[in-house]
Amino acid sequence: MKIRTLSFAIVALSGLLAAAPTQAADKLTVLLEWFVNPDHAPMVIAKERGLFAAAGLDVELVPPADASAVPRLVAAKQADIGVHYQPNLYLDHAAGLPLVRFGTLVETPLNTVTVLADGPIRSLKDLKGKKVGFSVSGFEDAMLKRMLASDGLSNDDVALINVNFSLSPSLIGGKVDATLGGFRNFELTQMRLEGHEGRAFFPEEHGVPVYDELIFVTHKDLAADDRLPRFLAAVEQASVYLTNHPQEAWQLFIKAHPDLDDELNRQAFTDTLPRFAKRPAALDRGRYERFGAFMKESGLIEEAPAIEDVAIEIR
């Protein structure tokens, strides 16, 4: 029903725009969570194919100067939309930031626990007494705790080493025996290109509830802004195009960002295709309830929030 609703909205908006071609497009600023990369392909393709323009939008994609500042900047209305992480949304809500999720970009986890494929670690149980490198504490600690518990271990059975953002080099160089937080669509290829095959353990297969890796958030005051459904309708069209025409989409992507035309990003682009939300406006309330409960059980938040306090579904 939601797909039909969005499709009708696209047709209706296209008709309105055709009837008023001289009307200026509405500006919309999207603050990315990281520098432009294949995870952002639906938005890049929507721009390149003129889908945002057809929806009456002038969308600007802005890489952040400080990735950790994205939720605060959106909460301060310095950007209309932020690309964010579902786990962090609960932490931001608990901290009092007036943010709400209104769409999904990547609908599966990308996080992993990664080891060297030719190393001695064949299962999570083999991590007992080993060193695990991480970049950001908080959710990832809780993720590891739940994963280890699925194999009868605890975080006390491993030594956590802060390697900043040097995950793959630390693993390849033998500084740590495993890494926490590497993305399955990026770090594994990066390692292979450097001559080292990796083995990934997926959190959703070891006790962690499935969650959306990347979501769209906005200030609660903008929840009823009519630019948001037009934005999601264009992103939905682009996501379907990516699925139907991956090679053409890749050419459009590197036309917009020729600096990303290399083997690493080409493989990451392919590996991310099945993970893009085909119904970005759809909200799985059960998924958000289960993950809120996980965050509470992990001690990251005091209470799981009501769904309507952190996520909305635009119709």
pLDDT in tens, 277-301: 999 999 999 999 999 999 999 999 9
Tell me how far the alpha carbon of residue 110 is from its chain's centroid. 8
Residue 3 has pLDDT above 90, yes or no: no
Confidence of residue 8 (pLDDT cuts 50, 70, 90): very low
pLDDT in tens, 121-169: 999 999 999 999 998 878 999 999 999 999 999 999 999 999 987 899 9
The DSSP-derived string for 51-113 is HHHHTTEEEEEE--SSGGGHHHHHHTTSSSEEEE-HHHHHHHHHTT--EEEEEEEE-S--EEE
| Contact in structure between 109 and 155 (CB atoms under 8 Å) | no
Q: Which H or E run contains 27?
A: strand 26-31
Residue 266 has pLDDT above 90, yes or no: yes
Q: What is the pLDDT of residue 22?
A: 56
| Contact in structure between 189 and 272 (CB atoms under 8 Å) | no
Q: What is the pLDDT of residue 200?
A: 97
Across 41-80, b (16+ Cβ under 10 Å) vs e yields: bbbbbbbbbebbebbbbebebbebeeeeebbebbbeeebb
CA atoms within 13 Å, Cβ hemisphere of 282: 15
Distance CA 172, CA 194 (A): 9
Which of 90, 95, 29, 26 minimizes the C-alpha distance to 55?
26
pLDDT in tens, 45-55: 999 999 999 99
Distance CA 260, CA 307 (A): 37
Residue 5 has pLDDT above 80, yes or no: no
One-letter amino acid for residue 245 of the chain:
H
Which contacts qualify for 244-248: CB closer than 8 Å, 24 or more apart? 246/270, 246/273
Q: In what order do the strands lie in the sheet with 111-116?
A: 159-162, 131-134, 178-183, 111-116, 198-201
Confidence of residue 244 (pLDDT cuts 50, 70, 90): very high
